[in-house]
Amino acid sequence: MDAEDWRGRWTEGRTGWHEPEGNAGLQAAWPPLTDNTHVLVPLCGKSPDLLWLAKRGHEVTGIELSKIAVRDFFVENAIKYKLVKGDCLDCYSAVDLPLTLYCGDYFEYSGSGFDALYDRGALVALPPDLRERYIEHTKNLLRPGASRMIVTLEYDQAVVSGPPFSVPAEEISGYWDDLVCVSKKDDIDNCPPKFRAAGLTDVKELVWFSA
């Protein structure tokens, strides 16, 4: 899927990955980081996880291609924002919360020094060739020793194609060898209908965290 495909999914309301109650893995396993930790949330959609992290006292920055997703996030959560248009990305800053969403291509985003990464639905949204580029870019945005939580999926990629893609454990260790799997649960009920239609019966959601 390219940028137009993703924007098209938002225009058509085909956003089956969206979790209205937020991600259970995040809520169960997010560590007690200090309040002003600056958390990077790549490819954030309009996830309630953004708000959950901000309400924990963290400073949250998300990056999302779709203007519909970004605006829906603020409107649906009744959060006032200020918009500053940029050359590559537009910046939407919440007025009463430490939360900023940049609307545009993640690979054009150039921040630095983030203390933590929260990735749900980002790495798994990308095909293998783009995943390497995504990890390199993300590493450049994080400070050394930053905390990282990544939510991934595992299933038989030979049965059905992504997105969302299956990302094997060896691939995760190849990116960061200090990540450990802190939870692994059945996710067949939450997966795209095309997975079940293709005959998949085993889909797992894994939560990885830096040790």
Q: Is 66 one of the binding residues for ligand SAM (CB under 6 A)?
A: yes
| Minimum distance of ligand SAM from residue 97's CB (angstroms) | 18
| Minimum distance of ligand SAM from residue 28's CB (angstroms) | 16
CA distance 160 to 8: 22
CA distance 81 to 85: 13
Least Cα distance to 67 among 18, 11, 125, 19 occurs for 11
| Minimum distance of ligand SAM from residue 41's CB (angstroms) | 7
Least Cα distance to 202 among 171, 172, 170, 158 occurs for 158
Would you call the peptide bond into 48 cis, given omega within 30 degrees of 0 as the criterion?
no
Q: Is 73 one of the binding residues for ligand SAM (CB under 6 A)?
A: no
Find the binder of ligand SAM among 53, 94, 125, 207 (CB under 6 A): 125
Find the binder of ligand SAM among 37, 47, 138, 166 (CB under 6 A): 47
Of residues 35 and 72, the one with the C-beta less far from ligand SAM = 72
Q: Is 26 one of the binding residues for ligand SAM (CB under 6 A)?
A: no
| Minimum distance of ligand SAM from residue 90's CB (angstroms) | 12
Q: Is 186 one of the binding residues for ligand SAM (CB under 6 A)?
A: no
Residues 6+ apart with CB under 8 A from 134: 42, 106, 107, 122, 123, 126
CA distance 16 to 190: 9
Residues near ligand SAM, by CB under 6 A: 6, 17-18, 43-45, 47, 63-66, 69, 105-107, 120-122, 125
